[in-house]
Amino acid sequence: MFENLTERLEKALSGFKDRGKLSAEDIKKGLREIRLALLEADVNYKVVKDFLQRVENRALSSEVLESLTPFQQMVKIVYDELVETLGGKASGLNLTGKPSVILLAGLQGSGKTTTAAKLAKYLKKKGHNPLLCSTDIYRPAAIDQLRILSEKIELPFVSATPQEKALEIAERALKIAKDSGRDVLIVDTAGRLHIDEALMEELKAIKDFLKPQEVLLVADAMMGQDAVNVAQTFQERVGLTGIILTKVEGDARGGAAFSIKEVTGCPIKFLGIGEKLDALEVFHPERLASRILGMGDILTLVEKAQEAFDIKKARELEKKLKKLQFDLEDLREQLQQMKKLGSIKDILSFLPGLGKKIDNLPINEKEIHKMEAIINSMTPQERRNPHIINASRKRRIAKGSGTTVQDVNKLLKSFEEMKTLMKQFKSPGKMHGFLRRFM
């Protein structure tokens, strides 16, 4: 996410390092570098201009903190203004309706349908009971897609009949939501390849009827300034309450994320960061600013860990570890919990100072998959008592997992080493603190 921008900004800011005092000339030179970094990231030129003006004003003003070096001061000013440009404070969803209606709009392919399901799943996790519906009568496949996704997340979906008009589906869905006591109605609307008159008219009619609490534009971050232009048109023609930027995980430049709030006046509310249904993050300007400046985002990582790890299971594991009863069944459980957090590279990307360097780390995700495959090929009895795994069992396990006997031996040896290491953790206080960090 935004690797190129991070790298360029870090470089631009490093020019301020090792300076005793900054002259107006130094500041101007540094700002030129930052300007280039932002323009290369495809940030809207007017947003760049305003941003730099604010940074310059503050850098040249008497706002000098004795405790900070010139470099730290510049980083602080750039960080503060970045947060401001990204929208200041996180703006949550308005869910004050009965039911609250969330209308999703956007171009075809932006990720609208997937996002409708992601949002429903997110709200369900938060204790809401959403109802889903799609008014994309022009693409029956899109309606079907959302029905299948709704089934996957075990939430009800209002099916459309072939004769129904988009507005009629919306009317019926609202009635069903009210009658069945659903507190949120999520309405996916038709997307076109390009903005057209008919699309806007239909969307406006649905909006006027439903009077939604939220009208969210789903926009593809990879489209850069085109996404910003689309957002501006929807804002002018229909009126939006917020934006969900999708495919952000593949966007190295960050131009849309950086510009969209300033240009449209609409806050970004969520980021789509993958194809899976839980790949949706609440948008926090401070956290993103921190990531963009290579300072990491520990808070989001901790939240992800809290969601992914089953606290009850973690406590059971803690008990086993204390009694040194850790077996391969537990190791498999740990590997699965880790995987829920994402790839190891994903996890590391939240830590400060790594940025693009992650690509150079000798991390082998394949080895982890291999370990899991080997453990999966064992019988439960073998997982609990690895010492019974003799030569013929090893051959069977290797065959079953598509690996070699050497691989099985390697895993068993690593497991033994792990257990030895755990004995050193046996002091309960130490272990407790260690696990607590993840809860």
Q: Which stretch binds ligand GDP (CB under 6 A): 246-254, 365-373, 406-414, 418-426?
A: 246-254
Tokens representing 1? 């996410």
Least CB distance to ligand GDP at residue 275 (A): 4
How many CA atoms lie less than 13 Å away from 199 in the CB half-sphere? 18
Least CB distance to ligand GDP at residue 149 (A): 9
82 vs 71: CA distance, rounded Å: 16
Q: Is 308 exposed, middle or buried (0-12, 13-18, 19+ CB in 10 A)?
A: middle
Rounded to a whole number, what is the distance in angstroms from the first to the last CA of the chain? 26
Does 205 appear as a known binding residue? no
Helices 166-179 + 197-210 axis angle, to 10: 20
* The binder of ligand GDP chosen from 140, 181, 239, 250 (CB under 6 A): 250
Nearer to ligand GDP, 74 or 280 (CB): 280
Does 188 appear as a known binding residue? yes
Longest dimension (CA), the chain: 77
Does 189 appear as a known binding residue? yes
- Pattern 108-127, ligand GDP, x by CB under 6 A: xxxxxxx-------------
* The binder of ligand GDP chosen from 100, 213, 235, 246 (CB under 6 A): 246
Q: Which stretch binds ligand GDP (CB under 6 A): 83-91, 125-133, 266-274, 394-402?
A: 266-274
* The binder of ligand GDP chosen from 190, 238, 279, 289 (CB under 6 A): 279
b/e string for 176-189 if b means 16 or more Cβ within 10 A? bbeeeebbbbbbbb
Q: Please report whether residue 150 would count as binding ligand GDP according to CB under 6 A.
A: no
Point out which residues pair with 281 in neighbouring strands: 271
Coil, strand, or helix at residue 426? coil
Asked if residues 5 and 86 have their Cβ atoms less than 8 Å apart, the reply is no
Does 332 appear as a known binding residue? no
**Interface with ligand GDP in residues 353-412 (CB under 6 A):** none
- Binding residues for GTP, by number, are 106-113, 188-192
Residue numbers of the site for ligand GDP (CB under 6 A)? 106, 108-114, 142, 191, 246-247, 249-250, 272-275, 279
